[in-house]
Structure 1
């Protein structure tokens, strides 16, 4: 670095208009000489106080800090990805459990419907002698009762599903689907 400064100084001394005119360059009235001396002194002060080395040290420290921040950000990203995968796995488990509960509720509703239908058939056989109005009334009450029981079972199952991280919109949609399924199987 010192050689570069000396080369620059020599080049600036030899290429001045004052030398071309034949005047002496090394006088204080020559502004080029004064500027050259000030420049050389400035470069010397910078070199004496080791400013370039300090600047490089500061830049190295800054680069190390940035690298550390990047490493921390990378670790945080990996942790976030791990947490996301964990939550997705848990969501799948909850969805599978909800599906099992709904399937069990459907099976229970079907079994209850079959049992109720058997009860109605036996009741119809025993009361075949009764009036047609009484039979129609008993069938309507039994079907209403079956629907209400199926709805209660579906609502209870849906309530369990909803209470385990389901939104209100999803819960309502699942309840309506269960009711439609039970109604379709009863008709």
Structure 2
């Protein structure tokens, strides 16, 4: 009996013990459980990936909605600004027109007042001149009658 025989016998005994203790089944079971675990992890990773894709799609949709909403807000703000600018322009033009009309009225009134004052002074000067001229040439009674007739004539022309 040589060493090869004993090595073969030891190997057969070792294999018999391994088979008796169900080591190949344990190894296969561990490999199966590890494969199941890997399969579960892959399935979980696939589900997580799908959830992530759904979340990404939802966030992209929300971003697009937000961008559209922001664009509509900006457009509404621009329209409102245009309306406010047009309204302000209209109000400014109306204010300028009112102020211009008021100034023109004041100017017209000042012209009327000036004309009336000039007429009044002219009448006073004319009356005084007539009084002096008539006072020198006419007696007092005739001067009074002439003066009264002149005043009446001037009053009728003014009215």
- TM-score w.r.t. the length of structure 2 is 0.58
Q: How many residues align?
A: 102
Task: Work out which of the residue numbers 23, 46, 54 in structure 2 matches 1:51.
Answer: 23
- Alignment-derived partner of residue 93 in structure 1: 65
**Going by fraction, where is helix more abundant, 1 or 2?**
2
- Alignment-derived partner of residue 86 in structure 2: 114
Q: Which has the higher contact order (CA 8 A, sep 6+)?
A: 1
Q: Which protein is bigger by CA-based radius of gyration?
A: 2
State the shift of 1:49 in Å: 1.6
Task: Work out which of the residue numbers 36, 48, 64 in structure 2 matches 1:64.
Answer: 36
DSSP-derived class of the 1:127 partner? helix
In the aligned structure 1, how far is the partner of 2:8 from the partner of 2:80? Answer: 101
State the shift of 1:127 in Å: 3.1
In the aligned structure 2, how far is the partner of 1:60 from the partner of 1:42? Answer: 24
Task: Work out which of the residue numbers 47, 52, 60 in structure 2 matches 1:75.
Answer: 47
Unaligned runs of 5+ in 1: 1-25, 131-187
In the aligned structure 2, how far is the partner of 1:36 from the partner of 1:105? Answer: 94
**Over the residues paired in the alignment, what is the CA RMSD in angstroms?**
1.7
In the aligned structure 2, how far is the partner of 1:54 from the partner of 1:46? Answer: 10
